[in-house]
Structure 1
Amino acid sequence: MLEGHTDLVWSVAFSPDGSRLASGSDDNTVRIWNTATGQEEATLEGHTGWVLSVAFSPDGSRLASGSDDNTVWIWNTATSQEEAMLEGHTGWVLSVAFSPDGSRLASGSDDNTVWIWNTATSQEEAMLEGHTGWVLSVAFSPDGSRLASGSDDNTVWIWNTATSQEEAMLEGHTGWVLSVAFSPDGSQLASGSDDNTVRIWNTVTGQEESSSCGI
C-alpha cells in the first residue's frame, strides 16, 4: 500500500520498464513511487488543481500530467523538475497520452477538444474539434499515425495525426466513452463505456466488430 497523498487519487501509470509508478491526486500533486521498494521517490508540485491524468513517455524519461487547472505539465523523471507547462485548454485536462516515439503528446479536455503537442518544442501542433462533450480518453495507434478519442457525447473519433483530420466517428455506445485502446497491430480499437459495454471496432472500416456486456 503506497501512502502519501492527502486526497483522492485519480490516475496511475507505470513507467515502461515497470520500475516506477506515477499517481495523480486531488491534493494537486504527482507522486513517483519505486515499485521494488514501495517508497516514494518524488513529489512533483506545480499544478494548482486536481491532477486527473498521468502518462509516462515511451522511454520513461518524461512524465505528463493533466489537471483541472487547465494545464498539462511535462516533468523530467530523472530530476523531478518541470520541463514544460502546456497552456491552451480552456477546461479540465482529463486525459493525456504520448505517441509511440515520444515526439507528441495528446491531451483531452472538458472543453470538448483534443490537442496534440510537440514535446521537443512544447508547442501546439493541432487542435482537434468535433466532439460535443468532454474528451475523457485518448490513445495513439502503435505506429502513431492515428489518435483515438472517447467522449461523454457517447462517440469515439479516430483522427489522422498527419493531417489532423477526422477519419471516422464510431457510434454505438449509449453512454460516456471512458477508455480507448488500440490493438498491438492497430487494426482494432476497443472502447469502454458507462453503458456497461466494451466494443471492438475495425479501424480500417470504422465498423463495430463485437461488443460485450458484463452487467
Structure 2
Amino acid sequence: MGAPHRAEKEWARELMLLTGYFRCWDCERTWSIADGLAENPDGARPQQPTTEVGTYADGSTAPGEPPAGRSGETATRLRQEGDALLAGQGTPWGRITVFSDSAPDSSGGVESLAVVSRPGRPTLVAGACAGSGAKGVVCLWDMADGRLVHAPLPGHPDRIRSMTTLLLPDGRILLASGGDTGTIALWNPVTGQSVREPAGNWLGGVTGMCAATVPDGRTLLVTATPRGAVRLWDPLTGESVGRLNPYGSPIQSIAAVPISADHTLIAASDTAGRLHVWDPAVDDPWEEGAAVQLSARALADADHRVASVAAVPAYGRTVLATGDNGGVVMLWDPATGAPIGDGLPFSTGTAGLPVITGATLHGGRAVLVAGSRQGRRLRVWEPETGALQHIALDVAVTCLATAGPELIVGHDRGVLKLPLPGR
C-alpha cells in the first residue's frame, strides 16, 4: 500500500492522542502516547509550548515545561558520575563521599540508617548491614569522612530492619535496632558496646521504630510490626510500658512527630494505605489525647493511600510528610490534620515504596528529599518556594537520612553522602 501520506499521518496521530498521556521524568514535559510511538523523536511534540524554566548549576536555563504544582517551580537535574555530582552538560555541582565498606562478610547493602548527633562531637551515621547467614551487623561511620569508627558490631541473630536514636533525659544517646524476627537491641554509639543484648519479641518482626518524648520527662522506644503490634518500651529496663494501635492494623511505616519540646505524637501508615496518629502520653490506647487525625476528606479528594510517613521541617516548624506508591508526597499540619500547600505531585520514575527525609539548610530553608525503595532517582523539593531538583544515582536507594545540609543515602551496595543542592 506504500507509506501513508502526510495528511494520513496527522489523522492517525490525532486518533492516538485519545490513548492518553505520560510525563517524562527527565524533561518534566507532558507527551501523548502517540509521541512515544513516533518513528523519529524529532517529530514528537510536547503538549505545551517549550519554556525556559529548567536551570542548571551554572545558572543557565534549559528548555522544559513547568512541572506540576505551583507556578514558578524550577527543575534542576543532577546526575552521579563516579564520585561527582554533575549538572547540565557536565557542570560540576558537588562531590559524593562513599563511606567505608561495611562488615567484610556482609552483602554491602544497607537496610536502615540513623544519625547520631552529639553536641561538640563528630556526628555519626549508623547503618544496618546484612552479615553472613542472614545475621545483622551495625556499622558506625564518621559523618565527616565516611570512615568506620568501630569494627562492625555483630550480635543480631536476624536481619536488621529498623534503627533509631534515643536521647535520654540524662543526656546519653543510645542506638536501637530491630530485627525481622522481633529482636530489639540497644547500643552505645560512642563506645560501640552493647547496652542490652538482642532480645526476642514474640510480637513479630520490627519493621519500624522511633523515639517518643512524653510530658513526664521520659524518652520511650516505639516499635511497630506487620502484625499490628505497636508497643512503647522503657529503653533501659526493656519493659513494655504501653501500647498503641488499638485496631491492630498491620503497620508498614512509623514516625515520631514532635508537637512541643516535651511531647511527641506517633504517626503510622498501615498496609491498607490508612494513616493513624496516636498520643503515647495517654495510658488508654483508645483515648486520642493530643492526637489529631488527618482530614479524611482531604485524603479521599487526593486519592492518597499512604505508604510512608516522616517528620520533616517546613514553614518554620515540624510537619508530617506522607508518601504513596505513586510518588505523591503531601504535607500535613499535626495540630489540625489539614494538608499544607500543594504537595509534591506524581512524576514518572519515582513510583514505588517511598522513602522520605527532610532537612533545614543554611539560611533556614527547608527541603524534603523523596525517592522510592530500589529506585535510582531522588527529588529534592523546597515546599515553601516550589523549587524542585532531580538527582539520578548509579545505585538502588534503600533508605535516606540527613545531617545538616548533607544527604545520606543507604543503597544496595553501601552508603554515600552528597551535599543537598542549593539555589
Correspondence for 2:309 = 137
Contiguous gaps of at least 5 residues in structure 2: 1-151, 395-423
Q: Is the contact between residue 210 and residue 221 of structure 2 (CA under 8 Å) also seen in structure 1?
A: yes
**What is the aligned residue count?**
214
Aligned positions of 1:139-154 closer than 5 A = 139-141=311-313, 144-154=317-327
Query: Which is further off, 179-188 or 26-35?
Result: 179-188
- Determine if the alignment matches structure 1 residue 197 to structure 2 residue 355: no
Query: Which is further off, 82-91 or 179-188?
Result: 179-188
- Determine if the alignment matches structure 1 residue 23 to structure 2 residue 177: yes
Say which of 9, 15, 18 aligns to 2:160.
9
| TM-superposed deviation, 1:181 | 2.1
Alignment RMSD (CA, Å) = 2.8
**Larger % of strand: which?**
1
Correspondence for 1:169 = 343
Q: For 1:11-35, what per-residue CA distance to the aligned partner results, in whole angstroms no more than 9, with x for missing partners?
A: 1123346742111111112211222
Cα gap change, 1:161 to 1:134, in 2 (>3 Å) = closer
Could you tell me how far apart the structure 2 residues matched to 1:70 and 1:136 are?
15
Could you tell me how far apart the structure 2 residues matched to 1:140 and 1:23 are?
22
| TM-superposed deviation, 1:65 | 1.0
Q: Answer 1 or 2: higher relative contact order, Cα 8 Å, separation at least 6.
A: 2
**Larger % of helix: which?**
2
- TM-score of the two chains, using structure 1 as the length reference: 0.83
Q: Which amino acid aligns with 2:252?
A: V
Say which of 273, 276, 287 aligns to 1:112.
273
Q: Is the contact between residue 99 and residue 144 of structure 1 (CA under 8 Å) also seen in structure 2?
A: no
SS at match of 2:292: strand
- Determine if the alignment matches structure 1 residue 38 to structure 2 residue 193: yes
Correspondence for 2:210 = 55
Contiguous gaps of at least 5 residues in structure 1: none
Cα gap change, 1:166 to 1:153, in 2 (>3 Å) = same
Could you tell me how far apart the structure 1 residues matched to 2:268 and 2:365 are?
20
Q: Is the contact between residue 145 and residue 162 of structure 1 (CA under 8 Å) also seen in structure 2?
A: no
